Amino acid sequence: MKKLDRLILRSFLGPLLLTFVIAVFVLLMQFVWKYIDDMVGKGLDFGVIAELLLYASATFVPMALPISVLFASIMTMGNFGEKYELVAMKAGGVSISRVMRPMAIVVLLLTGVAFYFANNVMPEAMLRYRITLYDITRKKPAVNIRPGEYYKEIEGYVIRIGSKSLDGQTLEDIIIYDHTNGISETSVTVARSGIMQTTFDNRYLLFSLDHGYTYTEPTTGENYNKRPLTSISFSHQTIAFDISSFAFSRSTEDLFKGGYQMKDVAGLDSAIHMLDSNLTNRRATCSNDLRGALRLWRIYTSPTPCRTSTESTWIPDERQTKLIMSRAQNIADNALKDSRNYDDIIQSDIEFINRHEIEKQRKFTLSIACLLLFLIGAPFGSIVRKGGLGMPLVASVGFFVLYYVVGMIAEKAVRESALGPEGMWVSSLVMLPIGLLLTLHATTDSSLLHNG
């Protein structure tokens, strides 16, 4: 490897790695702020949170790679131009295409890595991410009984304490409302003091109460009108609450494994083929049902609705005619409702198929985006000749927003069947002429911005 290649690669790989880490971090922080309420106050282990963040970070890699390549290429070529290193290279007989060659080789490798990651690694990471996030969001908050508040998270009970010591276990002025028997019986336990602890397996919450009373009063049944009140005093009593539902539990993979985001290209092709077959069968069923309703409607609305065995025409009276027309109207109304229901179901099936197509095409488009955005970034940096963070950052954001917005519009059109699956390549087709134009300007020593 020549010294020039090593210089170019050192100048390119540093910003590439830094931008990639920053992009993943920014996307990860957006995810954290979105789900912060589902994670706080549940007593989750650090390992569970770290696992979720790791899987979430993996899902951001295909999005972070293109913008990293774009920023690093603009910054590298901009620095070369600003420091006149690019001029020195040209004076030495090194063309722009030769300067871009080492970076292009790295970007080609990244394109292959991006596709492998999107096709093989990301489906598994997405599966683990969805399972972990689902388990976290459905986990109940950790038991946290505050003084002066009515705690209602334990099913069937309401607990109120007057005060809690610094150790978090010793309690004073305890009231426990027991609603496990429903409205048929009211039970209240009052204690002067007690200790709150959990069992070793965190399955039960134990209240060891001292010096108190338990009041029980039936509200239904034979003694409802008499409403007898039972009072039992105790010097020591232990009440166990089942808090197994508060524990973090793992769901099975089967819950999310069938999702289209958890499939590779081969799996998506297989799913699309099966869904197309199901859609064809559903359309055939719809057509047969509606044809049957049409035949029945024609029988009721025929001028000769019935004939006798002697082939003489039976002419119904006015009451029978109204009944026949009413039945015909009901058949038509039901057929219309069925057709609308079938239409909604078929549209839903088509949209579901389109989502599979979108996911399949995205694995290719996000990979090719690395190459396309490099084709834009490197020539643009050599033309503007501005390094540092200012111009590269602004330009990177501008180009990537253009690519992303066009891609989102095209994706919506594909999802709604306004465009075929090939519509996912619209953003790439928009960026390709821009890259070719900038490359032409760079290789012909044109300048978009003059320093004066």
Give the pLDDT confidence of 27-49 residue by residue, as tens digits.
Answer: 898 888 887 776 776 667 788 88
Separation CA 372–CA 107 (nearest Å): 10
Low-confidence ranges of the chain (pLDDT < 50): 306-312, 449-452
Residue 110: per-residue pLDDT: 92
> What confidence tens digit (pLDDT) does each residue in 229-274 have?
788 888 898 888 887 766 665 666 666 777 888 888 998 999 899 9
pLDDT for residue 247: 63
Predicted pLDDT of residue 450:
46
Per-residue pLDDT, 425: 92
- State residue 383's pLDDT score: 84
Q: Indicate the pairing of strand 170-178 with strand 185-198.
A: antiparallel
pLDDT of residue 364: 92
